[in-house]
Amino acid sequence: MDESKKETKVCKYCQSEIPKKAKICPNCRKKQKKATGCLTTILIVFVILVLFIFIFGSGNNGVDKETIQTAKDIPVDTFKSQCQTISYSDLMRTPDNFKGNYIKLEVQVSQVLGDTNYVVYTKGKDDSKEYGYYGDQYSIYDNREDKSTKLIEDDFVTMYGIYGGTENITTITGESKDIPLMNLLYIELNN
């Protein structure tokens, strides 16, 4: 390869040979963009991935991993006996007062959103199990160790878990609203 080839490059726009250090092509007068290396691209993707994980969390939603692990270390029957039934209105009015509390819900699964997310309803005032539950709405994140029992839509379930505060959702009509959030640890099917 001769010396002139090493000192030149090809313009990205007009394809003419130009000096290697040229920032603007002398022929077409277009600015030459500096090529980004593979390492830069990988670094950018890595930073975006880390930010995504930080923003969207690890599925523990509202409580830290230690709180969930501590609860999982409690014998199942003991944990269930420590769970309280707290009214929907109390959870919504003062969510910070109950965040991290062990709670119990008797609900019907209305939507299964992947393997670990559910939307459920409590029993309404005039609803019977025969026709379904259409009361208060909750968002559930499944942190169960044993997921061999899959939840499906219309299941009637008693859920035991940790209250994680509220979560903002967008309804099918486009309305934005906050609903209580539970980190699910154990279930009992009531079908």
Tokens representing 145? 């160790």
Identify which has the larger pLDDT, 133 or 187: 187
pLDDT value for 87 = 92
Tokens of 161: 């878990």
Return the pLDDT at 31: 87
Domains of the chain, CATH where assigned: 3-56 (no CATH), 65-189 (2.40.50)
pLDDT in tens, 29-82: 988 877 666 777 777 777 776 655 544 444 447 788 889 999 999 999 999 999
Residue length of the chain: 191
Q: What is the DSSP string of 153-184?
A: TT-EEEEEEEEEEEEEEE-TTS-EEEEEEEEE
The residues, ordered by sequence, that sit 6+ positions from 138 with a Cβ below 8 Å of its Cβ are 105, 107, 119, 120, 121, 122, 179, 180, 181, 182
* pLDDT over 60 at 4, yes or no: no
Percentage of residues in the chain having pLDDT higher than 90: 33
Answering whether pTM is above 0.75, one says no
